[in-house]
Amino acid sequence: MRRARRAALGFLILTSAACGGGGGSAGGTDAAAPASAALSRAADCDELLDAIRADARAKIRVQADELRVGGWSYAEGGGGSPTPVAMSTPAPDGGAPPEATDTNTQVPGVDEADVVEVAGDRIYLLGNDDLSILTAAPPEAATLAERVPIEGTPLGMFVADGRALVVSSVFDDDGTLGGDRRCDTIGPPFPLPEPESFFPPITAPCHSIFTKLTLLDVRATPARVVREAWIEGTYVAARRHGARGRMIVQRDWGTPLRLVDPWTVLPLGFGGGLAEFLGRVDAWESSALAAVDDSALAEWLPAVRERVGQTLVDRPLACDRAEIPPTGGAPQGATLIVGIDLASDDAPLADTLLLGAATEIYASAETLVLAQPVWQSEPLGEAATRTALHVFALAPDAAEVVYRGSGFVPGTVLSQFSLDVRDDVVRVATSFPHTERGLTVTRVTTAAVRNGALETLGASEDLAPGEQLQAARFLGDRAYLVTFVRIDPLFVVDLADPARPRMLGEVELPGFSDYLHPLDADHLLTIGRAGNAVGQIAGPALRLFDVTDPTSPRLTSSFELPENASSPAESDHLAFTFDARRGLLALPVNLYDGTSHPTLQLFTVDPTAGIALRGVVDHGAPALVPCPPPYDFEGCTVFEAMERGVFIGDAVYSIATSEVQVHALDDLTEALATVPLP
278, 149 contact by CB (below 8 A): no
Each residue's pLDDT tens digit, 591-613: 987 777 899 999 999 999 999 99
Q: In Å, how far are 113, 429, 597, 623 from 620, measured between CA atoms?
A: 30, 43, 8, 9
Rg (CA), the chain: 25
Torsion angles phi and psi, residue 61, rounded to 5 = -65, -40
Domain presence at residue 446:
yes
Whether residue 128 lies inside any domain: the answer is no
Query: What CA–CA distance (Å, rounded) separates 202 from 632?
Result: 11
For residue 492, being part of any structural domain is answered with yes
Query: Residue 158: which pLDDT band, with cuts at 50, 70 and 90?
Result: very high
DSSP state of 69: I
Domain contains 288: no
Helix/strand/coil for 23 = coil
Question: Cα separation of 611 and 412, whole Å?
Answer: 34
Residue 12 has pLDDT above 50, yes or no: no
pLDDT greater than 90 at residue 488: no
* pLDDT for the residue 261: 76
Buried b (16+ CB within 10 A) or exposed e, 74-96: bbeeeeeeeebeebebeeeeeee
Most confident of 253-262, 435-444, 489-498: 489-498
Whether 54 maps to a domain, the answer reads: no
Query: Is the residue at 436 inside a domain?
Result: yes
Dihedral angle computed from the Cα positions of residues 649, 576, 248 and 1, in that order, rounded to the nearest 10 degrees: -100
Distance CA(58)–CA(64), nearest Å, equals 10
* pLDDT for the residue numbered 192: 40
Q: Would you say residue 267 has pLDDT above 90?
A: no
pTM (two decimals): 0.87
More confident residue, 95 or 263: 263
Quote the number of domains for the chain: 1
Average pLDDT over residues 528-549: 91
pLDDT of residue 63: 86
Contact 265, 229 (CB under 8 A): no
Distances (CA, A) of 519 to 58, 281, 491, 522, 544: 49, 58, 17, 8, 9
Each residue of 633-643: pLDDT tens digit? Answer: 777 777 789 99
The alpha carbon dihedral of 145, 148, 149, 155 has a sign of negative
411: domain range?
A: 359-511
Task: Identify the three-state secondary structure at position 394.
Answer: strand
pLDDT, tens only, 297-339: 988 888 899 999 889 999 999 999 999 999 988 888 899 999 9
Looking at residue 622, its pLDDT comes to: 63
653 has a pLDDT exceeding 80: yes
Q: What are phi and psi of 293, to 5 degrees?
A: -65, -25
What is the pLDDT confidence band of residue 172, given thresholds at 50, 70 and 90? confident
Residue 28, judged by CB atoms within 10 A of its CB (0-12, 13-18, 19+), counts as middle
Residue 532 lies in a domain: no
Q: What is the pLDDT of residue 254?
A: 60
* 415 vs 204, residue with greater confidence: 415
Specify if 670 maps to a domain.
no
Angle in degrees, 0-180, between the axes of helices 274-293 and 45-66, rounded to the nearest 10: 180
| Residue 172 to residues 179, 336, 484, Cα–Cα distance (Å) | 6, 19, 41
Which pLDDT value is given to residue 38?
A: 94
Nearest Cα residue to 169 out of 222, 207, 211? 211
**Residue-by-residue DSSP string for 627-645:** PPTTS--TT-EEE--EEEE
Check residue 35 and give its pLDDT.
81
The per-residue pLDDT of the chain, averaged, comes to: 85
pLDDT value at 210 more than 90: yes
The 10 Å Cβ neighbour count of residue 155 is: 25
> What pLDDT, on a 0 to 100 scale, did the predictor assign at position 676?
93
130 vs 77: which has the higher pLDDT: 130
Check residue 113 and give its pLDDT.
97
Write down the H helix ranges in 399-546: none
